[in-house]
Chains A and B, each alone.
Chain A
Amino acid sequence: MERADARRSVLLQTYAAEVFLPVVRAFVENTAIALGLGENEANGLTLAAKEVFIHLCRAVLKNGERVEIRCSNGSYYVQADFIFPFSPGLELHAFNLNTAASAAEDAGLQETGLVLASRSADRFMITRLEGKELKLTLLKEKAYPPFEESPLALPKPMDEFSVRPPNPEELKLFAHLVKACYRDQALPEVFNYPGKLVDMAGGANYDAAIAVGPAGEIGGGTFWHRSGKRSVEFFGPYLFNQNAGSPIGAALLESCIGAIIKTDAVVLLNRFARAEFAREHFEFLGGVSVYTREGKPGRREAWFRLLHEDLGSLAWVHPEIEDFLREQYERLVLPREIRRVTDEGEQHPRHSVLSATIDRSHASATLRPMWFGTDFAENLGRHLKLLSQEEILNVFFFLDAGKSWQAAFTPGLIENRFKPCMIFPCWGAGDVAVFQFQGAVQ
């Protein structure tokens, strides 16, 4: 499949002053259209960018501070990054999703600043870059026609097959076959939009492989993508009308591993595996109950395999989840030196800051710690209230056991009815403990 040479991006360097707002709006809107967004999606991204810029000017940065806005084409989406300096005088708590642009607007909390921006974008996140910069990201997906069911001839069970990357038409056929053969199973949302799958596979971070019979028929397929600096997420394998025990699934996994083994990925995660396949090739991490956007209950399981020999590492742990982590490490046979982190009366800043990644298509939000502060429990409570108003039904919190300072968030999480449900080994600087909010769905 033809792949874009590089992720194209266009840069605007401007200053934190509202007088530049028209420049920012025009830049984001025109660049988004040039990079392939439709008019409606470009408007949504522009609206989100406008809210972010106003928020930065009013609540975060000093007048005239430098702001860099980078719009990039991610094949199936356009992303706008706001990058600005992190200085000691910065009002850090202003990065919390629940922060209003100004005190006067407190009454209309949910209608302001970052909330509004997050609502107009498909994904919204804040990250701290290497060095002294922060990045606020808005991501808007292109619009694709939804999957339309069409009559399909299923392949016969195959004795002979080869595994290779699909061309775009084969990839669309693969998506249709998945929908036809896995009608009753939870599938990644991308299968609802075969065109999106093609664009994803043409981008930098996604790859696909299919098993093809002698006459070119597709007996199975899989796709995978880089989900983090050290992690790859693997989808499938999906087999079409093949006999039990068919070697196609293992061959597809092997193809993925062959493609990523010389990269810096250390862990392969699978959340949509057939259980019988996953049991043989992956290790079970755990399962969580989730709700669709329509409120329908479901379950998600996660499986993983390490790509390298585990040479052991440190896990910084608060006593409140030490037993949970020990149990996980023992079950998964992961050699970890557990180091307890306790509060011994040292001083902490007042304000905590959380980063929120909102995925509206799955009614889901993932919170991550950015800075610890003594107000964390209250801050988290405010986030939960806001997310509930935003009809986000699934809230997760990721704590990186490789970063000692993050352990301090544990008591606030427990107080707010979060429960550790699984770990993602080697997912961050160390293993990531995944907490799920156990409160009532609003």
Chain B
Amino acid sequence: MNSLPLDLLVPPHIKRFQAYIPSKPDEELKKIYRVPRIFRLNNNENLLGPPPAALQAIREFPPPRAAFYPSGDAYRLRCKLAERFGMHPDQFLAGNGANEVIGFVIKAFCRNGDNIVTADKTFAVYEWVAEFSGFEARLAPLVDFGFDEEGMLGKIDAHTKILFLCNPNNPTGSMWNRERLRRFLERIRGRQIVVVDEAYAEFVEDPGYPDGMALIREYPNLLIFRTFSKMFALAGLRIGYLAGSKEVVDIVRRTCVAYSVNSLAQVAALAALEESREHVARTREFVRQGKVFLKKEIAALGLPYVLGEGNFMMIKMPMNDALAYRKLMTRGVMVRSMTAFRFPDWIRITISHREAQEALVEALGKMLTALGPGIEEAG
């Protein structure tokens, strides 16, 4: 048999792209790092778990229904979202996690030679999807850990189709307020699609945080992304959605894969929305307390940190982050090393239960002690 001519078959933008390698299952990691348990502080999950109503819906899901296709366009969920936000069901599209809707939007608006604009140090999937789809991702550097309006605008050219803004930004927690977002949208003047990814919106307590859904009425080029993975703790079921003006969502729907959101995810998400108020309040309190604890402990260790909106925190390490990751893993604490986010020597941690946070602080303390004096200055 002739050898596969991959060199000819694979386009250059795929050849130079590196596949994302997710972490191994806990059982494997425990063996590899020889630890009895692992605290996962790497994925910004909500450690309180899903709202009780969603848990109930999952428990009550009739197994025989697995034999049937789900609602192909998450009909009931879209109706519920429309009711909640005072919009039309056709203004929503559900996806297999918000990651999937990123792909829908890029496919809907970009063609050969087009580009997207986003920040250099933000959720990486906008850049990845653009690049492996063959479109240029133009990256504006963050300024003071936040999205830079001028930098983003300066990257726009005649081929720019979409701007991605992560608000609040993962991993820095920085946020654009209502005025700033509105000013940005005014300056875009409807010439490009503006995506505001609000994956962490429900964690934000700042009263200046913009109501993205309401802005859609004024700015038909605005798309809002939301997810059930973070606040609603349904990450394992993979469900997210986008919202926008009817005419824009109608275009995006053309590239959307129907039936990609499974039945269990749809019923759990629906139930989560029924009971969101109490769950959000409980989670915010949990995150608030966790942040108070970590701020004090990390400052006491002499480590610089960045803590904004969202259920995560970034810590600057006095060593490279890949080493910090390995050392923490040997103590059963799993964090996100931030080189891949272009924050070398930083780690990101999820606000978690007290036991996990104490394990993190203890492990960091031991690592710093092992490094010896003078490390604080180096950090």
Task: Tell me whether B131 is interfacial, beta carbon within 8 Å.
Answer: yes
Q: Once the chains bind, are B337 and A309 in contact (CB under 8 Å)?
A: yes
Cα distance, A59 to B340, chains bound together (Å): 49
Residue B148 interfacial (CB < 8 Å): no
A333 touches B344 (CB 8 A): no
A206 an interface residue at 8 Å Cβ cutoff?
no
Please name 13 further chain A to chain B contacts, defined as beta carbons within 8 Å, in addition to the given A283-B323, A310-B325, A311-B21, sorted by A numbering: A131-B3, A253-B344, A254-B342, A262-B127, A263-B16, A263-B17, A265-B18, A280-B318, A305-B322, A308-B21, A311-B23, A333-B330, A335-B329
Q: Is A294 close to B, CB under 8 A?
A: no
Interface residue SS majority, chain A = loop
**Residue from B16, B24, B120 within 8 A of A312 (CB atoms):** B24
List chain B residues, Cβ under 8 A from A306.
320, 322-323
Asked whether any CB of chain A lies closer than 8 Å to the CB of B9, the reply is no
Which residues of the partner chain A approach B202 to less than 8 Å between Cβ atoms?
A: none
Min CB distance A130 to B, Å, is 7
B32 interface hit (Cβ, 8 Å): yes
Contacts of B344 in A (CB 8 A): 250, 253-254, 257, 281, 305
In angstroms, Cα B28 to Cα A131, docked, is 33
- Interface residues as binary, B337-378 with A (CB distance below 8 Å gives 1, 0 otherwise): 101101011000000000000000000000000000000001
- Interface flag for A334 (CB, 8 Å): yes
A contact residues vs B (CB 8 Å cutoff): 130-131, 250, 253-254, 257-258, 261-265, 279-283, 305-312, 333-335, 337
- Is A311 a contact partner of B323 (Cβ separation < 8 A)? no
B320 CB contact (under 8 Å) in A131, A258, A281: A281
Hey, what's the 0/1 contact readout for B308-347 against A, CB within 8 Å counting as 1? 0000000000111011011101100000110110101100
- Chain B residues at the A interface, C-beta cutoff of 8 Å: 3, 16-18, 21, 23-24, 28-29, 32-34, 120, 127-128, 131, 318-320, 322-323, 325-327, 329-330, 336-337, 339-340, 342, 344-345, 378
Q: Within the complex, which residue of B120, B319, B325, B378 is in contact with A309, where a contact is CB–CB below 8 Å?
A: B325
* 18 interchain pairs, CB-CB under 8 A: A250-B344, A253-B344, A254-B342, A263-B16, A280-B318, A283-B319, A283-B320, A305-B339, A305-B344, A307-B322, A307-B340, A308-B322, A309-B23, A309-B336, A312-B24, A335-B32, A335-B34, A335-B326
Contact B33 A335 (CB under 8 A): yes
CB neighbours (8 Å) of B340 from chain A are 261, 307-308
Contact partners of A283 in chain B: CB under 8 A: 319-320, 323
For B28, list chain A residues within 8 Å (CB): 312
- B330–A258 touching, CB < 8 Å: no
Question: Chain B contacts of A130 at CB under 8 A?
Answer: 3
A312 partner residues in chain B, CB cutoff 8 A: 24, 28-29, 32-33
CA distance A425 to B77 in the complex (A): 49
Contact of B339 among A131, A250, A307 (CB under 8 A): A307
Of A262, A279, A333, A335, the contact of B18 (CB 8 Å cutoff) = A262
Point out the residues of chain B lying under 8 angstroms from A308, CB to CB.
21, 322, 337, 339-340
Cβ B32 vs Cβ A264 within 8 A: no
Report the Cα distance A279→B320, complex, angstroms.
9
Please determine whether B326 and A264 come into contact, CB atoms closer than 8 angstroms: no
Q: Enumerate chain B residues within 8 angstroms of A281, measured Cβ to Cβ.
A: 320, 344-345
Give B44 Cβ to nearest chain A Cβ, in Å: 16
Residues of chain B contacted by A282 (CB below 8 angstroms):
320
Q: Are B339 and A333 in contact (CB under 8 A)?
A: no
Taking the closest CB of chain B, its distance from the CB of A178, in whole angstroms, is 23
CB-nearest residue of chain B to A255? B342
A258/B342 in contact, CB under 8 A: yes
User: A333 to chain B: which residues have CB within 8 Å?
Assistant: 323, 326-327, 330
How far apart are A257's CB and chain B's nearest CB, in angstroms? 5
Nearest residue in A to B375 (C-beta to C-beta)? Answer: A280
**B66 CB to closest chain A CB, in angstroms?**
31
Contact assessment for B322 and A310 in the assembled complex, using a CB-CB cutoff below 8 Å = yes
Q: Are B323 and A305 in contact (CB under 8 A)?
A: yes
Across-interface contacts of A131 in B (CB, < 8 A): 3
B303 to chain A, nearest CB (A): 14
The answer to whether A257 and B18 touch across the interface, beta carbons within 8 angstroms, is no
Contact status of A262 and B17, CB under 8 A, knowing A253-B344, A309-B23: yes
Compute how far the CA of A337 lies from the CA of B31 in the bound complex, rounded to whole angstroms: 10
Top-5 shortest CB links A-B: A312-B32, A306-B322, A305-B320, A264-B18, A333-B326
Please name all residues of chain B whose beta carbon is closer than 8 Å to the beta carbon of A311 when the two chains form the complex: 21, 23-24, 29, 32
Q: Which residue of B lies closest to A333 (CB)?
A: B326
Question: Which chain A residues border B29 with CB–CB below 8 Å?
Answer: 311-312
Most chain A C-beta atoms within 10 Å of own C-beta, residue among B29, B131, B342: B342
